[in-house]
Amino acid sequence: MIDQHHIRSLQERIALYEDMQAYHALYDLFFHNLHRFCYSFVKSAEAAEEIVSDVFIKIWQIRNKLPEIENLKVYLYQIAKNFCLNYITRHFKNPVASLDEMDIEAVISLDNPEELCISADIINTIQQTIKQLPPQCRLIFQMVKEDGMRYKEVADILHISVLTVRNQVAIATRKIAESLPASIRESSIVHRQS
């Protein structure tokens, strides 16, 4: 989880002192998650990297206004989403008008030892289930579960209600749980009850 106080400190250092170390620290803090977010839209690692770079160029250009931005994390994701939609409009013949029409790429990252212990078959099952989710549901699930965003942050970025975010996460979680073998579902219930 990214610390809001740390982000606010970086924001102020960039705005007040044009602090390049703070700017690079902010970039390092958000690059991975923003890249994954952008990749889910544009399906190109190079394009996603370019979009994230453009997001941070934009941040540098408006650095004097950074203190006015209440939640920089949400702001970064909103810029990234808009840049992704602009990219899609420029580079594809049939641009989409809504998230439900998009084919959002599912990305699962195994960042801790517990996740690495899951068998390849189960990972494949989970990935297939996530790929079968409706695009908006898939994107919301990724933002909440993989990027660690709060429901309100996701709602602000996607311009939907917090209730919609909560419902979509519940739908995704239920479908993933239903796709797992019964023995794994039972062991996760036992772990929760302990």
How far, in Å, CA of 17 to CA of 25, rounded?
14
Instruction: Report which secondary-structure segment, H or E, holds 142.
Output: none
Residues carrying CATH 1.10.1740.10, the chain: 1-95
CATH architecture of 1-95: Orthogonal Bundle (1.10)
For domain 99-194, the question of CATH label 3.40.50.2300 is answered with no
pTM: 0.76
pLDDT on residue 112: 54
What is the tens place of the pLDDT at every residue in 163-194? 999 999 999 999 998 988 775 655 554 444 44
Q: How confident is the model at residue 125 (pLDDT cuts 50, 70, 90)?
A: confident
Contact 126, 176 (CB under 8 A): yes
Query: Which pairs from 16-25 meet CB under 8 Å and 24+ separation?
Result: 16/67, 18/63, 23/56, 23/59, 23/60
Is 55's pLDDT higher than 90? yes
pLDDT on residue 194: 44
